[in-house]
């Protein structure tokens, strides 16, 4: 079942079993955004505090499969304490990873090399692209986060 090993990396199962940053933040001042995956019923609530262009705190509640739970947990770790501009960059890189799907060559026929190191442990989610239906599970957290950032009142 080598395929399954690509999907269910140990680090993913660890985040699923022991999710980080679970809980709620008082809202306001925190921004609160709900994400929803109608296909599998996954629900995620992101609470976000941004001060002076920095994500000072993030909490998550809701429920979902291992991929959506692990992805949101890893996301929270990756963005907490980061500047909003940096968070946007991480979101972009994550989404890029998720759209590679079966493509391994770029338009010029060169192999696509994504520098997964810049994503840290989030790179463990790269295996999800082999399971197209699960991509929505992995991206739910990130789309919800992007929505939350958009909802932060311009300072």
Partner 1 sequence: MALGEHVTTFSARQVRADTPMLRRVVNGRAITYLDSASSSLPPRAVIEAISRYYELHHANVHRGVYTTANEATAIFEGAREAIAAFINAPGGADEIVFTHGTTESFNLIARSWGAANLGAGDVVLVSEMEHHANIVPWFQLRETTGIEVRFIPVTDDFRLDLSNIDELMRGVKLLSVTGMSNVLGTINPIAELAGIAHRHGALIAVDAAQSVAHLATDVRASNVDFLAFSGHKMLGPTGIGVLWARREILADMPPFLGGGGMILDVRTDGYVPAAGPTRFEAGTPAIAESAGLAAAVRYLSALGMDHVAAHEHDLTIDALTRLESEFSGRVRIIGPADAHARGGVLSLDVEGVHPHDVAQILDQYGVCVRPGHHCAKPLMRRFGLAATARASFGPYSLTSDTDVLIEALGEAVSLFG
Only segment of 8-16, 89-97, 105-113, 139-147 that touches partner 1 (CB under 8 A): 8-16
Restricting to residues 90-149, name those near partner 1 by CB under 8 A.
Answer: 131-134, 137
Least separation in angstroms between CB 39 and partner 1? 5
Could you give the CA distance from residue 76 to residue 108 in angstroms, rounded to a whole number?
36
Residue 12 burial (CB < 10 Å; 0-12/13-18/19+)?
Answer: buried
7 binds partner 1 per the rule CB under 8 A:
yes
**Which residue shows structure tokens 């705190």?**
57
Site string for partner 1, 51-90 (x = CB under 8 A): ------------xxxxx-x---------------------
Identified binder of partner 1 from the candidate list 25, 40, 54, 84, rule CB under 8 A: 40
User: How does 21-41 read in b/e, with b if 16+ C-beta sit within 10 Å?
Assistant: beeebeeeebbbbebebeeee
For residue 97, count CB atoms less than 10 angstroms from its CB and return exposed for 0-12, middle for 13-18, buried for 19 or more: buried
Question: Does 43 participate in binding partner 1 (rule CB under 8 A)?
Answer: yes
Using CB under 8 A as the binding rule, whether residue 18 contacts partner 1 is answered as no
Backbone conformation region of residue 63, classed left if phi is above 0, alpha if psi is from -120 to 50, else beta: beta
Q: Which residues bind partner 1 (CB under 8 A)?
A: 1, 3-4, 7-8, 13, 16-17, 36, 38-43, 63-67, 69, 131-134, 137
């Amino acid at each position: 079942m080598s395929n399954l090993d690509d999907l269910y990396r140990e680090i993913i199962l660890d985040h699923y079993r022991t999710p980080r940053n679970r809980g709620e933040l008082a809202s306001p001042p925190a921004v609160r955004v709900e994400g929803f995956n109608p296909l599998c019923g996954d629900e995620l609530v992101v609470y976000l505090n941004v001060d002076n262009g920095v994500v000072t705190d993030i909490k998550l509640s809701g429920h979902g499969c291992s991929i959506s739970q692990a992805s949101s947990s890893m996301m929270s770790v990756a963005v907490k304490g980061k500047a909003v501009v940096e968070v946007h960059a991480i979101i972009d890189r994550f989404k890029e990873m998720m759209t590679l799907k079966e493509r391994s060559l770029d338009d010029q026929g060169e192999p696509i090399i994504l520098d997964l190191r810049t994503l840290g442990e989030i790179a463990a989610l790269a295996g999800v692209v082999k399971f197209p239906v699960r991509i929505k599970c992995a991206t739910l957290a990130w789309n919800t986060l992007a929505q939350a950032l958009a909802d932060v009142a311009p300072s």
